[in-house]
Structure formats: C-alpha cells, structure tokens
Amino acid sequence: MARPATAAVRLLTGEREPVRLATTGNIVLSGLKTIDGVLTEVGDRVLVTNQSDQSTNGIYTASEGVWYRAADARTSRTMQKGTTVYVQLGSGNGAKTYQFNTLDPVIGTTSLSITGDADPVLKSDIVDEDDMHSNSDQKVPTQQSVKAYVDNNILLAYGGAKAALAAKAVDMWNGVSTQIECFGDSTMLGVDAGLGGITPQPAPDKLQSVLRDYYFSSAVTVTNRAVSGSRSQQMLEGTDGSGSTFEAKMAVSTAEIVICNHCINDCQNVPPTTPDQYRKNLLAFVNTCIKYGKIPILQTPNPMFAIAALGTPDKANRLKNYVQIMRDVALATDAPLIEVYDMINSWVRTGRYRVSDLVPDGCHPTVITYRAIGLQMATPFLHPHAGLAGPEQFISTIEGAVTIDPANAPLPAPATRTGFQLISDAIDHAKSLKVVVRVDAPGLDICIAYPIWAGGKNGVDVAWDQVSVGGINQLSTAAFGGDFVHDHEVCIARDVPVGLHLLTMASGGGTASLGLSYVRSRRTRTKKAFVGGAQSRDLWRDRALQTITHYGAGPDSAFIEDDLLISPHFAAGGLDITFNSNMAKDTQFILYGVTTVASGGAGPLTARMGVGVGLDASGFVNVYQLTGAATYATTALNAVDFSGVARQWRLILAAGTSNLQVFVSGANLGTVALTGPYLGGFMGARANGAGKTIIVTDLRDIEH
C-alpha cells in the first residue's frame, strides 16, 4: 500500500503531514501521556480519534499544558472528507493510514468520524522521496521522508523480523536452545558510576535471568559483547578492539537474536557520528543480521541528563535526535525495538525518582536502573503488545502472559471477576506460577487475587521482579457449605514504574496447590505533603473521606466495598485504620472482607466478614474471625455496652506482625492475634439481622 510523498502531491490529495501516534481511547487533551504504548513528547503530532465528544477529534500537538489543534488541521478545508494521515508509531496503530469521513465539518462543533485501515504500509513499498532514482514499477514515493528507509540503492525485503521473533519465543517456550548476543557501549556492558566498576547484574544478565525464569528453561543464553567507549561505526568495522568486523562475527555466530544499543557515544563523541551516517550504520546492522539469518533488535539507550560528570544540556538534547533516528530505522525495517529511553524518562517525570539515583553521572545507570533495563529487554519476547495503562485493568489467567510449572490448564470459574482461575496440580513437587506484567503508565498499584480453599497451600511466596515481597496463605479448613473463597485480593506492588515486570508465585514440595484468579491495576493513592509537621497527615489528594452505610437484610448480612481494598502488602506492610461510628448492637466494621462461591466457581459471589471489629448482641466489643458459613471465632475486648454512642475507632496492625490492636475513643481495648488466612480483601460492614443498620464515617487509612 503506497502513499504519495511530495508536499505538492500532499496538498492536492488532502494528505496531512504524518502524526507520531494515534489514540486508542478517550483522552484528556492536556499533559504528556502514554498513547498506544508510547510516551508522548512536547511537539508530537497526535491523531485523536476516539473522543466521547467526537467534535474534539482531530490532529493535535502534544504539550505539557493544554493541547491545541495542529496548524495544518484547524479548518474545515484541512479536515475535509477524504483527508488522510499516516501514523508512524504505536503498538496497535503504528504504520496505519487514517481517513477523515465527515463532509464540510464545522471544527469544534461537528462530530468528526476518523477511521483507520487494517493494512499498514508495507516496508517493501517504501522508498525515500529524496532518492527518486531508486524508484521502480513496484515502488512509488511515499509520504514518509526518512533517510532510514533506504540504504544507498539496496532495500532489503523487510517485514520478517517480528514474525521470526514470535516464532523464536515459541521455541523458548518449548525449551529449544536459544542464543542471544548483545552489542553496545558501556551502558550495555554495565558500567556503574555509583560503584566505580561493572554493576553486579548488567542488563543482558538480567535479561537471561528473566527469560529462563519465565520459560522455566536454562536453554536461553545471553552473551554480552558490548565494548565500553565504542560507537556503531567501530562495531561494524571491528575497530572497537573486538578484533573483527561485525559481518565477520555474524558469519560465524551461533546466535539467533542480536541486540544493538549503540547511540550515546555516536552522538556525544567529538566529532559525533553524523545523523545520516548513524542511520546507515543502524541499517547496516539490521541488513547484516538478516543476511546471516539473525533476528535484529534495536534498543534505545537510557537518557542522558545535564549533571556532572558526563552530562550536559547539549548532550541530553542531542541524544533525543539520535534516539528518534533509531526509532525511524526500526519502523522502516520492521525490526523489533526495545524502548528504554522513554521508560527511564517516565520514571523521572513522576517526581518519585531522583536522577542521581538512576543515572548519577548523567550517563551511566545504577544497579536498580540496570535491572529495570534488563526486564525491559524481555519485552519483545514476552509482552510485545500494550500493557496496563490505567487503573481497573485486569490480566486474566487465560492470557498469554501467564505460565505455570508443572503445566496445567486454567479452570472455568463463572462467578469470579474474570471467569477463570489457574490452579496448580495436587502432586507432591515444587510449583511455580509466572505472570508478565507490562505497565505503560505511571501511578499504578498492582494487586493479585487468588482462591483460598481446603486444598490450598499455606506458605506461597510472592515475588515481584524476582524479589520476594511476602507470603500468602491459600489454605482454609473453614466450611462454607461447599463454597471456596474466591477473588481474595491483596496489593503486592505500589506505585509501579513504567516498564516490564515479572510476578512469581511459588511453593515448595507437597500436594497442596497454589492458584491465581487475576492481576489488577489500581490507582496509587497520593498523600498531601505537610512540611515541618511532627507526623504525616491522613489526607489524600485523590479521595474524600469514606462513608459506609449498610442496612441488614437478615442474619450475617455483609457488604464489602470493592474500592476499599485493604492497603498493606500482606501482613508485613502493616495498617492503621480510623473511622467514626455510632454502632448498633450486633453490627461490625469489616476489616478484611472475603467473597465465596461454589468450588467450581458457579453461582453468585457471597460477601463475608473475614476479620471484623464491632459489637455483639450485648453491645460488647469483639474481634471476629471467620471459621465457616456465618460462624466466627470471637475475642471479647470489654464487657461494657458501647452501642448507641458515636465513638472513634482505630485499628492497628503493626508491620511484620498479625497482632491487631483495637482502640475506641482513645482507649486501648486490647490486642488480638489474627490466625486466619484473610490478611487482605476489602473493607465493609456487617449487620447480623434484618432492620439493623451500621453507618461508618470518616474512614481513613493513616500512614506514618
């Protein structure tokens, strides 16, 4: 599918200048954001196609403030029916051409219909409009004027690298031996300015660890062939000290996949590699890999920052242009691209990471950054499609991002949130479950939900990015009339940075099983900062104080609020909850709410009080722990009727313990050991009888 190229033809045919990205859903037209898997930058042209108010569709220029329509797409004539525009990047919309379908629109008033084709521009149809002599009967000039689309008079039949990589990923899944080689400069080698030497785990080493971990296979080998201080030209010529040209290396290499991260030195050395030569060098890398049957992958570098000893404003700004050249070459050749530059920039822009902690000398990453880059390098293999880009998004156990060892098929669970659960077998051996979690937008917490049942494992270790974050108990001997606890949710990672992540659930030997219902993203709650105070304040930017009202419908009538997920990372995180309530007799505040359903997952979910604090039929304060259907182990904390009077309640679970302290109106009524597996779930209320009412106000989650 070839497109016209020159400005004159573009004017006559109604083509607009290409846009960098096209939206995949309704967006707020202000601020920089991730669109179709790519973080926007100031000045990016963005095609907005999916607005709830379709009169706001069109072509915009991205900015940190309010977005305005692009200069060439502001009038009825410039967005007339038949106008087309090409999209350069994006995991879903990249390489598509979109068309405006509204006749004589009134901009800002008329709904604008914009549709895209399903057939992206073929790379074999692309030539440079400035290289017309290379045209042929099969190729015509395109609207893309990028030097990277040609390499002198040779244009390889591109388009197979991503398909070949997908096939290779299947090989890795099946345990087939796979070799990967990584070329680049000191940032690929692993030079760590903070340590004054090589980091303990350079990015290629982390890549090998992640691939072996996810595929349950030691047959994946990643070799780091980076040379500190080298440039792309030196890699090609063999003048980097490696002893042979890149082509000579590829001619004898047994690697199937080759990754290149040459960029920083190319744009920083004096004199730098010219942009045109840098394009040609990257194309030579891709061409040589293809010539010898290798799958080429390009990797953008980490950003440079204007801090000593290596960073300057000039270097940081110049690197952006060279990174874009690499992206253009990847797009033109259909080579897979590992996006590290935008990932690290997104971390800094959240305000939660200091540059000095990530790239302390302005150029070289630290241990934490190298590990994140290594995880990101696994993206083309494990998760090349878009990831979690906002709150309330789910990864189900039937997606391709989930593996379990020994292998087992997901089980239908119709009443659960995603309809399926993945349960390990019940044979006496070690068990492990892995989920690849790609995060495309900052400000998200990651939660997991799982079943708890008589065949579950007590002592399942949960790891995030190959680091243990705590253990969960999936074993319960409580009888719920044949029901299991399903969709029991806990938070495992807070304020997760953009990039690829790996969730692991593992247990040792034994016949007991582990299981997973889903992975869920939630919006990170952000505290207001009070400078100079003796302690933090429990005021949140994103949520008003909570009120819960529950009217009892009969015995053991429970209500839990999906939005009120209990906050800690398991028991190790601790919690501190405060609220006001004028409790009636036989009503309780639910601290850990659970849902149960029949073992096969059919039938409606039933809300139950896993752990609660409140009043018994006499008005005495008790702690309740679920033992079965409408049965509880109770611990009395006083023998005084507390009903009918407004009181302030405070519940504290110290970090690293399971001992719950109960305070009422400032008085410490006692401490109770929590023995059940329900350290998680949702908050809510219970009224044990029809006509009973409990109202909870000013519910807060305090952090110190």
- Tokens representing 22 are 């096209």
* Residue 666 Ramachandran class (φ > 0 left, ψ -120 to 50 alpha, else beta): left
Pairing of strands 458-464, 402-405: unpaired
Same topology between domain 394-523 and domain 546-701: yes
pLDDT, one tens digit per residue, over 21-43 is: 999 999 999 999 999 989 999 88
Q: Is the confidence at residue 651, as pLDDT, over 70?
A: yes
Q: What pLDDT score does 141 carry? A: 40
State residue 108 phi and psi, 5-degree precision.
90, -10
**CATH no. for 546-701:** 2.60.120.200
Q: Which residue, among 280, 309, 307, 285, has the nearest Cα to 297 in the 3D structure?
A: 285
Burial of 163 (0-12, 13-18, 19+ CB in 10 A): exposed
What is the residue type of 430? A
Q: What pLDDT score does 570 carry? A: 55
Q: What pLDDT score does 666 carry? A: 93
Of 15-29, 158-172, 259-273, 291-305, the least confident: 158-172
Q: What pLDDT score does 395 carry? A: 94
Q: What pLDDT score does 222 carry? A: 97
Rounded to 5°, angle at Cα 691 from 690 and 697: 115
Q: What pLDDT score does 545 carry? A: 58
Q: What pLDDT score does 143 carry? A: 37
Q: Is the confidence at residue 373, as pLDDT, over 80?
A: yes
- Tokens representing 210 are 């992640």
CA 345 distance to own-chain centroid: 15
Q: What pLDDT score does 399 carry? A: 86
For the residues 618-625, what does the mean pLDDT come to?
Answer: 97
Euclidean distance between CA atoms 365 and 356, whole angstroms: 9
CA 173 distance to own-chain centroid: 22
Q: Is the confidence at residue 181, as pLDDT, over 50?
A: yes
CB atoms within 10 A of CB 412: 12
Secondary structure letter of residue 282 according to DSSP? H
Residue 327, H or E segment = helix 313-333
Cβ-Cβ contacts under 8 Å for 274 (sequence gap 6 or more): none
Q: What pLDDT score does 116 carry? A: 85
The answer to whether 184 touches 258, Cβ cutoff 8 Å, is no
The answer to whether 385 touches 392, Cβ cutoff 8 Å, is no
Cβ-Cβ contacts under 8 Å for 368 (sequence gap 6 or more): 357, 358
Burial of 204 (0-12, 13-18, 19+ CB in 10 A): buried
Q: Which CATH superfamily is domain 161-382 in?
A: SGNH hydrolase (3.40.50.1110)
Cβ-Cβ contacts under 8 Å for 8 (sequence gap 6 or more): none
Q: What pLDDT band is residue 527 in, cutting at 50, 70 and 90?
A: low
Q: What pLDDT band is residue 13 in, cutting at 50, 70 and 90?
A: very low
The answer to whether 613 touches 589, Cβ cutoff 8 Å, is yes
Q: Is the confidence at residue 460, as pLDDT, over 60?
A: yes
Q: What is the rounded end-to-end Cα distance, in angstroms, of the chain? A: 60
For the chain, give every domain's residue range.
1-145, 161-382, 394-523, 546-701
* Residue 508 Ramachandran class (φ > 0 left, ψ -120 to 50 alpha, else beta): beta
Read off the pTM.
0.73
pLDDT, one tens digit per residue, over 68-121 is: 998 888 888 788 888 888 898 888 888 888 999 998 898 888 999 998 874 444
Q: What is the pLDDT of the chain when averaged over all its residues?
A: 85
pLDDT, one tens digit per residue, over 383-400 is: 988 899 999 999 999 888
CB atoms within 10 A of CB 308: 9
Q: What pLDDT score does 526 carry? A: 58
pLDDT, one tens digit per residue, over 315-353 is: 888 899 999 999 999 998 889 999 999 999 999 998 888
pLDDT, one tens digit per residue, over 602-616 is: 778 889 999 999 999
CB atoms within 10 A of CB 12: 10
Q: What pLDDT score does 567 carry? A: 55
pLDDT, one tens digit per residue, over 417-446 is: 888 999 999 899 999 999 999 999 999 999
Q: What pLDDT band is residue 218 in, cutting at 50, 70 and 90?
A: very high
Euclidean distance between CA atoms 538 and 643, whole angstroms: 27
Of 143-152, 261-270, 456-465, the least confident: 143-152
Residues of the chain with pLDDT > 90: what percent? Answer: 55
Residues of the chain with pLDDT > 70: what percent? Answer: 87
CATH fold group of domain 394-523:
Jelly Rolls (2.60.120)
For the residues 527-535, what does the mean pLDDT come to?
Answer: 49
Q: Is the confidence at residue 5, as pLDDT, over 60?
A: no
Angle at which helices 341-349 and 367-377 pack, to 10 degrees?
A: 130
Euclidean distance between CA atoms 186 and 189, whole angstroms: 5
Q: What is the CA radius of gyration of the chain?
A: 29
Cβ-Cβ contacts under 8 Å for 502 (sequence gap 6 or more): 210, 213, 214, 375, 434, 435, 436, 437, 463, 464, 465, 466
Rounded to 5°, angle at Cα 388 from 368 and 681: 90
The answer to whether 181 touches 226, Cβ cutoff 8 Å, is no
Residues 583, 586, 592, 596, CA torsion sign: negative
- Tokens representing 662 are 């109960």
The answer to whether 571 touches 656, Cβ cutoff 8 Å, is yes
